[in-house]
Amino acid sequence: MSPLPIMLKMQSLTVLELLKQVVLSWQVIVITIAIVLYLQIVFYVARKRRGPKKTSKISMKQKKPKAEKPAESAEAGAPGKSANEELGLDEE
């Protein structure tokens, strides 16, 4: 016998009472709390792994512009420090 005819014979009060008992059962409450805690941990970790917040355009406009780079004489072949010396690299 399938459960469909039984459901059709139930009155709405009986269905609501059964639904109330299911929702208020300790198993459903415990599982619901566990799922909510799990989702909070997942979103917390995802937010922390994303990194620091990026600065907004307004705060970037308020910052002073960086000093201009010195003339690129080393790249033009002018005498002076080599590129490795400027970067502090040792040749091996």
Q: Which amino acid is at 33?
A: I
Structural domain range at position 31: 26-52
Q: Which residues contact 91 (CB under 8 A, 6 or more apart)?
A: 84
**Which pLDDT does position 74 carry in this prediction?**
47
Residue 80 in any domain: the answer is no
Residue 71 in any domain: the answer is no
Q: DSSP labels for 42-54? A: HHHHHHHHH-SPP
Residues in the chain: 92
Report pLDDT digits (tens) over 31-90.
999 999 999 999 999 998 887 766 666 666 666 656 666 655 545 555 566 666 667 666
Report pLDDT digits (tens) over 6-20.
656 667 778 888 899
Residue 63 in any domain: the answer is no
Residue 39 in any domain: the answer is yes
Look at the pTM and tell me if it is higher than 0.75: no
Residue 72 in any domain: the answer is no
Residue 91 in any domain: the answer is no
Tally of domains within the chain: 1
Residue 3 in any domain: the answer is no
Residue 30 in any domain: the answer is yes
